[in-house]
Structure 1
């Protein structure tokens, strides 16, 4: 490493990345190291990558989701100096309000009696929430800054909850922070970006140019992209 090179650590909010850039994309087979190399300067020498996520559970509507995730984890583990740090998912039934509720719905109250109508404002849904990644990411980046392990921190996320640790990394430890935003410019978190030296929006062109090979040949076995991807 030359004197001009910058030790660069990458912190990936997997949940935010997925819902911002990958969920509706045909390019889910993403190589995050390649993505960073395509977006950063040549003097950013990537030394470590942390991928913060949680294991999903199969559900009736998608009985193979955990298998696809396991396959992607295997792909990620082929990258040098990448560590997967897991939080957890919570799923529970809850009622959520409709954006455009119908004025009324018909409710049967008996064959001989007839029926009545009542207003509908909400429906019961299964709500899935990822827990732990923002705390894990915040803790890791602050520890690494305290130990002076990097010159530049790259965060792939648009989560405003990360604004406080980013502020401390910038002001307390005098480190440069770059945000790679998986969401569109109009959804950019102002709270997060105000403390970053630079914010770059990740586009679908960036995603498509940063794919793993298919298959990934490890020398002992081959890892294939899930067919539905």
Structure 2
């Protein structure tokens, strides 16, 4: 048996795999433990799932306050269903105006043609994942680290784990669609080079079979699936 911790880049998972699908009300424990790891590593024992994200801001969200409420309901549902297993680790967003080259089809970027835009950037997620991964490996909290992200910023942390704790296995689950390679979306080679094993996609049927109940009981009122999800 291998004591396993799962680290999920919520932003990467949402925008690379879940956006535009009916599978956003995702039971991450069922997906990773019972769908993916049950096949990839049947000896794995999942003891913790760490979900890294940042609070949605209504002013910049497609559905405004409904988007904020949806995220809040989702996090409540995960914590209520798996109170001793799932942890939600939050960063934050920064918003500031900046100037960027305008996009003109078929033309390279030009400094002479710039437009004022809002820069929206998620902060702390990458560094939080990297620090948790490395710290858990060094403390012996897990024999296997399974990371769901396709972000090359995590490469140094995985390199250090391989150097300083070579006995710890590193698994990668890429938040990509099956067949994404044909659409120009591929697994990050800088990350896959550090892994003991790689799962290059997540299937629709796996997502469909890993949905939370529409209403999840909490200590207060139930956490319910948002209507627009």
TM range (shorter): 0.7 to 0.9
Unaligned stretches of 5+ in structure 2? none
Q: Pairwise mapping of residues 5-44 of structure 1 onto structure 2 (< 5 A)?
A: 5-37=1-33, 38-40=35-37, 41-44=41-44
Higher strand share: 1
Work out whether 1:92 is the aligned partner of 2:93: no
CA distance, structure 2, for counterparts of residue 131 and residue 98 of structure 1: 25
Q: SS at 2:58's partner residue?
A: coil
CA distance, structure 1, for counterparts of residue 161 and residue 91 of structure 2: 22
Contact 1:101 1:122 in 2 (8 A): no
Contact 2:77 2:218 in 1 (8 A): no
Q: TM-score, normalised by structure 1?
A: 0.84
Tell me by how many angstroms 1:187 deviates.
2.2
From the CA coordinates, give the structure whose radius of gyration is larger: 1
Tell me by how many angstroms 1:94 deviates.
2.5
Contact 2:175 2:202 in 1 (8 A): yes
Q: Pairwise mapping of residues 141-180 of structure 1 onto structure 2 (< 5 A)?
A: 141-174=133-166, 175-180=168-173
What are the superposed Cα offsets for residues 174-229 of structure 1, whole Å, 9 maximum, x if unpaired? 21111110134442100011110111122333222211111223476422100000
CA distance, structure 2, for counterparts of residue 219 and residue 42 of structure 1: 33
Matched with 1:114 is: none
What are the superposed Cα offsets for residues 3-24 of structure 1, whole Å, 9 maximum, x if unpaired? xx11000111111111111122
CA distance, structure 1, for counterparts of residue 211 and residue 99 of structure 2: 38
Q: TM-score, normalised by structure 2?
A: 0.84
Matched with 1:116 is: none
Computed over aligned residues only, the root mean square deviation of the Cα atoms, in angstroms, reads: 2.1
Matched with 1:214 is: 214
What are the superposed Cα offsets for residues 138-158 of structure 1, whole Å, 9 maximum, x if unpaired? 111111111111111000100
CA distance, structure 1, for counterparts of residue 186 and residue 113 of structure 2: 27
